[in-house]
Structure 1
C-alpha cells in the first residue's frame, strides 16, 4: 500500500523512486490504509517467531531476510518479539531503507541493508526466516513464483517463509467486493479523499494474486506445512517451512505441561 502523490506515477517515475519520495511519512497512514493492521502484522510475527526462538534455544543467532522491507516495519516488530535476531533488509528504495536503518539502529538491533530489486539474486547466506510484507504483489505471477523458489532455497532446514500480502479475489466479482470493503473501512478509519485517491492510483500498478494460487506456488517451491494463516478481505498472511528441522516454539508449554 502507498500513500504518496499520484503525480509521481503520472510522471513515469519507477516504483522504487515513488516509494523513496514518501519515505519520511510512509508509516503515518499504515493503520488507516491497512484496516486489519494489528492482526495482520501480529500473525506474520507469530508464524515466524517459533523458528527464531528455536535457533536462540540452541545458542545460534537467528538470521532473518526481509524482502521488500521498506521502512522496516515488519522487521522492527519481529525483532521486538524475538530479541537477538540479526536482520538483512532488502529493498530497491534506498530512502525507505534509510528510515528502516535509523529505526533499528535506535533500538540496537543488529542489521544490514541491501539496495536491490526483488528480481535480483538474494543476499548470500542461509536464513532461519525469510519474510515479506506488502511487497511481492508488485511482481508479476512468474516473478512471484521465481522469488518463492529462491526464498525457499535460502532457508535453513526447518526455516520459515512468511508473506504478509495484499491479495486478489478469486473471481472478478469478489475482487471488486474486496475493493468496496477496503474503501468503506479506510474511510471509517479517517482516510480523506486525497489519501484514498493516492492509494488507489498506486494500486493500479499492483499485480496481486489469489491466496489459493499463491499457496500452491509455495508448495511447488518446496515448502511444507503451507497455509494461509490469516485473511481479512484484501490482506492475507501465507507461508510454510523448509523440510526438516522443527517448528516447535521453545517459549510454549511442553506437551506434558499442556
Structure 2
C-alpha cells in the first residue's frame, strides 16, 4: 500500500487514537499553535484575514486547533489522502471555519498565495531528505513578511542508539496510556513509510531556505516542534 492508501484506510478513526499514540499530545500541538498564533493575531489587528497553509493536513487536527486559538483565520489544507481531507472538511464545516482543501502531494507546487503561517504536523517525515529541503524552500517562499513556518514532527535520533531509545520510550509510554495492540501495530505499519530526519539537520535546512530565528521550540524524544520566520 502507498502512504496515501495507508492513511485513507484509517481516516475515520485517526483522531481518536492521537492522545494514546502521541504521549506529549498537548505540549506538542500546543507549542505549534503558540508559534503560529502571533502573526495571525497581527494580521487580524491590521484589519485583514490571516491566511494559514496546512501541509499534510490529514483530518485537520492542527487546523482545528489553530482556528480555535485564533478565530477568524482562513485555512488552506493540502493532503494527498482524499478520505483524510473529507474528514477535515466535515470537522471544519461543523465549526463554520472558512477553508479550502487541495488534494496534492507534498512534492507538488504549493497552492498560490502568501500565508501568515505555513504549518505541518506529522507529515513531512514521509519525504526523503531532498524532498524535505525542497519543501522547506517552497514554504519559506510562500510566507508573507513576518510570517512563520512551524513543523510539529516526528524526528530521528542523532545517533543509532538514541533512535533505538526513542522507539523504546514511545512504546513504553503509549502502552501506559492504553493504546491497544491493534493501534500499536497499525501505527508501526504506518511508520514503515517514515523517513525522519534529525532536528539539527532540519533546522539547518530551514535557515538555508532563508528563514530567520530558526529554533526547536519543543522536543520530547521523537516528537519535536521547530521552525522559523520570514525576515
How would you bin the TM-score normalised by the shorter chain?
over 0.9
Q: 1:237 aligns to what?
A: 225
Q: How far 1:100 moved relative to its partner?
A: 0.4
Q: 2:18 aligns to what?
A: 30
Q: 1:101 aligns to what?
A: 89
Deviates more, 1:21-30 or 1:136-145: 21-30
Q: 1:247 aligns to what?
A: none
Aligned pairs for 1:135-214 within 5 A? 135-214=123-202
Residues 6, 190 of structure 2: 8 Å contact kept: no
- Distance (Å, rounded) in 1 between the aligned partners of 2:125 and 2:225: 13
- Distance (Å, rounded) in 1 between the aligned partners of 2:138 and 2:31: 23
- Distance (Å, rounded) in 2 between the aligned partners of 1:60 and 1:202: 39
Q: 1:117 aligns to what?
A: 105
Question: What's the TM-score once normalised by structure 1's chain length?
Answer: 0.89
- Distance (Å, rounded) in 2 between the aligned partners of 1:56 and 1:198: 41
Consecutive unaligned residues in structure 2, runs of 5 or more: none
Query: Which stretches of structure 1, 4 residues or more, deviate above 4 A after TM superposition?
Result: none
Q: How far 1:204 moved relative to its partner?
A: 2.0
Q: How far 1:21 moved relative to its partner?
A: 1.2
Q: 2:44 aligns to what?
A: 56
- Distance (Å, rounded) in 2 between the aligned partners of 1:80 and 1:137: 26
> What is the aligned counterpart of 2:61 among 48, 64, 73?
73
Partner SS for 2:117: strand
Residues 148, 228 of structure 2: 8 Å contact kept: yes
Question: What's the TM-score once normalised by structure 2's chain length?
Answer: 0.99
Aligned residues: 231
- Distance (Å, rounded) in 1 between the aligned partners of 2:156 and 2:51: 31
